[in-house]
């Protein structure tokens, strides 16, 4: 074991902890997280680059849908009520796909939380990602933890003024870019960018950018951890989803306690001593300002930066990594029982080690199979089932539809020759970005013919109707049946639509009302 003096001891205190619980309306104590380095930090950089890259760049991706549809890969076209996602186009009546995706996201969140805890909070939540980005700017301008604390506590000098102005300006630039990127999802991005710069965009675009700039700046720069602690409901909800097999960031006090800054002296005195050298490195890097050694807390977003910090300390001391680690409650409890001789004594780390200082075979270690349990399989099954159902429905859905509304008043008209006429509104939906000629035919109504209001062509049982790409066409139609052909009081018949070019077709069963039904 190397000497503890190789480890820098930091004066870091929890701003919020189980022991020092802040009143709900107490003034915020500033947190100055120290830069962490290690595998989890590197993983977070990668996740941050991917998530921010997706958010900022997606509106600029193009997707060729032909000359009659927008070429933006992801577009929420509110004006025309369409959602474009690469090769998928969603019409308003197909909103159940979006609902299905939201259900999948919910089940996926249950799955992730029940297995690897609050991974969403620690790695991919926008609040976490943007706070990380704002911290990068803050560190680049003001320095790491000690420099920032010194600057904050110092008087307002020209240097402090310049540094603060630069930091807030860059934060605002990030806010503007974030708000700007958001509106590009709702209109053609290059066109809207040009309009924004020439002040010809719609006022709602400027208002949205302003609101999102303000919220990004406030949440990411000023409020930071307070959003997670006080505003977000997820920390409360996730507690109900965790069980003894879920992974959480855990301080393994079964090997860390009794902690001491003077391990050699304590050992020389014949007292047991744990691996924790009480250096506070885990507190200094915590973006939530908590002490993980106090146990699981609502504030912990499981970002794992304290694991990196502690692993760095263990490396310096020549001890095994993992004093703070991802662990399940069942493993932790088993190891605590081992370290306390079944709960009979306080923690004695020698009980978890062999005479040569290695971990005993009885120490429980994490294995990936532990997080796969019946509950996990149920979530995976449910998630896959919904996903496959959506995919099947998407691949087999119709791109040609007909909907018919019968006139309410009058329900029928008796013509001078005794024949009966019913009026309908026929809606033809051409859901592809190509023009089509759709054949509309009436079937199963003996002797009947059809005429289109406003069209001079003679009545017929079938018409060829051109429909523009990606459009709905409404026809006002009269269906007439000679008196001697009427059978029954209400006859059902079909409007059949067909696109000969693609062989797609659809049918709608309508009712033909006669005088008897009106009485």
262-265, long-range: CB within 8 Å, 24+ apart, which pairs? 262/4, 263/1, 263/4, 264/3, 264/4
Q: Residue 178: phi, psi to the nearest 5? A: -70, -45
Residue in 77, 94, 278, 507 binding ligand SF4, rule: CB under 6 A: 278
Nearer to ligand SF4, 277 or 477 (CB): 277
Tokens 């308003």 belong to: 92
Instruction: Give me the residues paired with residue 78 across strands.
Output: none
Per CB under 6 A, 16 contacts ligand SF4: no
- For residue 422, the number of C-alpha atoms closer than 13 Å in the C-beta half-sphere is 30
Per CB under 6 A, 301 contacts ligand SF4: yes
* Residue 342 CA: distances (Å) to CA of 149, 255, 346: 44, 15, 10
Per CB under 6 A, 309 contacts ligand SF4: yes
CB environment 484-502: b (16+ within 10 A), e (fewer)? eebeeeebebbbbbbbeee
Per CB under 6 A, 277 contacts ligand SF4: yes
Nearer to ligand SF4, 263 or 363 (CB): 263
Q: Which residues contact 41 (CB under 8 A, 6 or more apart)?
A: 305, 308
Per CB under 6 A, 121 contacts ligand SF4: no
Per CB under 6 A, 310 contacts ligand SF4: yes
Per CB under 6 A, 450 contacts ligand SF4: no
Beta carbon of residue 203, minimum distance to ligand SF4 (angstroms, whole number): 41
Per CB under 6 A, 279 contacts ligand SF4: yes
Q: Can you tell me the distance from the alpha carbon of 268 to that of 127, in angstroms, rounded to the nearest whole number? A: 48
Beta carbon of residue 44, minimum distance to ligand SF4 (angstroms, whole number): 10
What is the footprint of ligand SF4 within residues 457-486 (CB under 6 A)? none
Q: Residue 384: phi, psi to the nearest 5? A: -65, -40
Size, binding site for ligand SF4 by CB under 6 A: 28
Q: Can you tell me the distance from the alpha carbon of 351 to that of 340, in angstroms, rounded to the nearest whole number? A: 8
Q: Can you tell me the distance from the alpha carbon of 294 to that of 259, in angstroms, rounded to the nearest whole number? A: 13
Residue in 4, 178, 260, 302 binding ligand SF4, rule: CB under 6 A: 302
Per CB under 6 A, 263 contacts ligand SF4: no
**Binding region for ligand SF4 (CB under 6 A) out of 21-29, 189-197, 279-287, 373-381:** 279-287
Q: Which residues contact 236 (CB under 8 A, 6 or more apart)?
A: 298
Beta carbon of residue 264, minimum distance to ligand SF4 (angstroms, whole number): 15
Residue in 15, 69, 90, 324 binding ligand SF4, rule: CB under 6 A: 324
Per CB under 6 A, 111 contacts ligand SF4: no
**Binding region for ligand SF4 (CB under 6 A) out of 180-188, 249-257, 263-271, 449-457:** 249-257
Shortest CA distance to 336 belongs to which of 243, 244, 239?
Answer: 244
Do residues 196 and 205 make contact, with C-beta atoms less than 8 angstroms apart? yes
Per CB under 6 A, 48 contacts ligand SF4: no
- Residues of this chain that interact with ligand SF4 (CB under 6 A) are 249, 251, 256, 276-282, 285-286, 288, 290, 292-293, 300-306, 309-310, 313, 323-324
């Amino acid at each position: 074991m190397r000497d503890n003096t190789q480890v820098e001891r930091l004066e870091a205190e929890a701003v919020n902890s189980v022991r020092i619980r802040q009143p709900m309306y107490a003034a915020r104590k500033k947190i100055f997280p120290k830069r962490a380095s290690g595998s989890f930090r590197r993983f977070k950089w990668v996740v941050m680059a991917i998530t921010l890259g997706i958010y900022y760049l997606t509106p600029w991706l193009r997707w060729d849908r032909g000359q009659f549809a927008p070429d933006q890969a992801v577009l929420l076209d509110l004006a025309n009520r369409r959602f474009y996602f690469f090769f998928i186009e969603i019409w308003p009546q197909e909103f159940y796909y979006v609902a299905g995706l939201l259900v999948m996201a919910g089940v996926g969140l249950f799955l992730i939380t029940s297995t690897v805890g609050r991974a969403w909070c620690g790695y991919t939540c926008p609040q976490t990602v943007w706070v990380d980005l704002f911290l990068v700017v803050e560190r680049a301008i003001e320095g790491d933890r000690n420099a920032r604390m010194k600057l904050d506590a110092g008087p307002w000098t020209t240097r402090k003024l310049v540094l603060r102005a630069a930091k807030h300006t860059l934060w605002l630039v990030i806010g503007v870019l974030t708000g700007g990127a958001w509106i590009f999802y709702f209109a053609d991005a290059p066109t809207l960018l040009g309009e924004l710069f020439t002040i010809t965009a719609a006022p709602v675009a400027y208002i949205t950018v302003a609101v999102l700039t303000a919220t990004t700046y406030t949440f990411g720069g000023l409020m930071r951890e307070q959003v997670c602690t006080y505003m977000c409901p997820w920390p409360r909800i996730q507690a109900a989803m965790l069980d003894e097999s879920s992974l959480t960031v855990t301080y393994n006090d079964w090997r860390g306690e009794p902690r001491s800054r003077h391990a050699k002296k304590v050992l020389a005195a014949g007292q047991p001593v744990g691996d924790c050298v009480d250096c506070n490195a885990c507190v200094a890097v915590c973006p939530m300002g908590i002490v993980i050694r106090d146990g699981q807390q609502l504030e912990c977003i499981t970002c794992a930066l304290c694991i990196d910090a502690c692993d760095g300390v263990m490396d310096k001391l020549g001890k095994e990594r993992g004093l703070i680690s991802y662990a399940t409650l069942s493993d932790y409890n088993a190891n605590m029982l081992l370290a306390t001789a079944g709960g009979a004594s306080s923690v004695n780390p020698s009980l978890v080690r062999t005479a040569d200082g290695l971990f005993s075979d009885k120490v429980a270690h994490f294995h990936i199979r532990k997080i796969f349990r019946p509950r996990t399989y149920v979530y995976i099954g449910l998630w896959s089932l919904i996903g496959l159902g959506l995919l099947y429905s998407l691949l087999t859905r119709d791109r040609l539809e007909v909907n018919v509304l019968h006139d309410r008043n009058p329900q029928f008209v008796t013509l001078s020759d005794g024949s009966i006429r019913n009026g309908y509104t026929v809606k033809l939906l051409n859901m592809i970005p190509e023009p089509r000629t759709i054949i509309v035919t009436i079937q199963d109504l003996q002797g009947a013919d059809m005429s289109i209001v406003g069209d001079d062509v003679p009545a017929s049982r079938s018409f060829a109707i051109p429909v523009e790409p990606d459009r709905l066409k409404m026809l006002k139609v009269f269906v007439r049946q000679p008196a001697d052909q009427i059978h029954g009081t209400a006859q059902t018949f079909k409007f059949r639509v067909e696109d000969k070019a693609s062989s797609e077709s659809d049918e709608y069963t309508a009712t033909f009302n006669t005088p008897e039904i009106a009485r």
